[in-house]
Each structure stands twice: as C-alpha cells, then as structure tokens.
Structure 1
Amino acid sequence: MPVSGRRYKALQQQHELDAAELETVRAELAETLQRLDSSRKLVTTLMHSPATTAEQRLRAELRRSEEARQALDVRITVLQAANEGAYREAYELAKDARGVRA
C-alpha cells in the first residue's frame, strides 16, 4: 500500500522510537533475569547447605517464638470476647439503673 512521504517519515521515526524502547526493555529484562538467577542460586545454596549449630538454635527459637505468638493471639481473642461481654453487661446494668432512677 503506497504511503505519502510525510507518512513514511512519521512511520520511520515511530519505528526508531519503538526500536529504542525495545532495546531498553531488553536491557531491563536481561538485568532482571540476571538478578533472578543470582537469587535462585543463593536460595539453592542455602537450602542445600547444612545448618550450623547457631542456625539450628535460631530456627528453634523462631519456631518457639511463632508458637508463643499464636498462643498470645488466641489469648487476645479470648480477652477481647470477654471484654465485649463485660461491656455489654455494664451497658445493660447502666440502662437498668437509669430506668430505676426515672
């Protein structure tokens, strides 16, 4: 399909801009893939290396800490429920007291 000279020039400029943008995206992709490969190698190395005694102690402490956090979470939930119950009860008592005074 024939195009005018101006249209051809505009298409050529757009092609150059698109090509430059494509090169930028390719460079970013290459950098991202390189970081991903480095991260993957690090994770693989850490997963397959034997844990030191300090790491084992740290993992055990982390497990205990998580178990304690879960226990506290349950306790907080129970206390919040009790607090809400006490609040409702106090509200009802205050409402009844106002009715007696009136």
Structure 2
Amino acid sequence: MRNTDLNVRLGKRTRLRHEGSASEATFRTIFEQAAAGIEQIETATGRFVRANRRYCEIVGLSKAKLLATTFMGVMNEDDLQGDLRNMNRLRLGDTRSFSMEKRLVR
C-alpha cells in the first residue's frame, strides 16, 4: 500500500468519525431540549434506556427512578395490551417503529 493510499483512507476514517460524533451531539441536544416527553425503551425487557427531562416531569419520577423501572410501571392499564402488541411486532421485525397515544400514570 502506498503512503498516499494510507493517508486517503485515514482521512476518510477521521472524517466519518467526526461526522458520527457531530450527529450524536445533535441527537442528544434535540432529545434533551424537546418540549415533548421522549423515552427510549429496551424492547426485550421493557426497561427505560433513556428519557428526557420532560418525560420525567410527565410521569413524576426522577431520571434515576425511571431508569430503574419498565414502561409498564408508568402506563395506564387499559393501554398496556396495545403497547405490548406493538413491542412484540418490533421484536419480530414486523415493523421498524410505531407511534401511539398513551395515557401515563403518576
């Protein structure tokens, strides 16, 4: 491999790494500053992976307490079965995402 080939490859790798870091920073900023409550859930367990400040305010829990529970602990029981069906569809690969209006409990 010639020196110029190596320099080109290293340059591309560095640029891609920088773009990935910038993209992650943008996502984090939008996620944390959103006026809407946003949460990310581990589909296999139902555990919260992350939630923004607004979501924690809506459910009345600190971020630490929220991350120690599952989404089932903050959902209205009447909405739970529909959400579990959608989560199962995600796990099976039948859908890539879903959106639903939920009633949460405090």
**Which fold has the larger relative contact order, with Cα–Cα distance below 8 Å and residues 6 or more apart in sequence?**
2
Structure with the largest fraction of strand: 2
> What's the TM-score once normalised by structure 1's chain length?
0.36
> What TM-score do the two structures reach when normalised by structure 2?
0.34
Larger-gyration structure (1/2)? 1
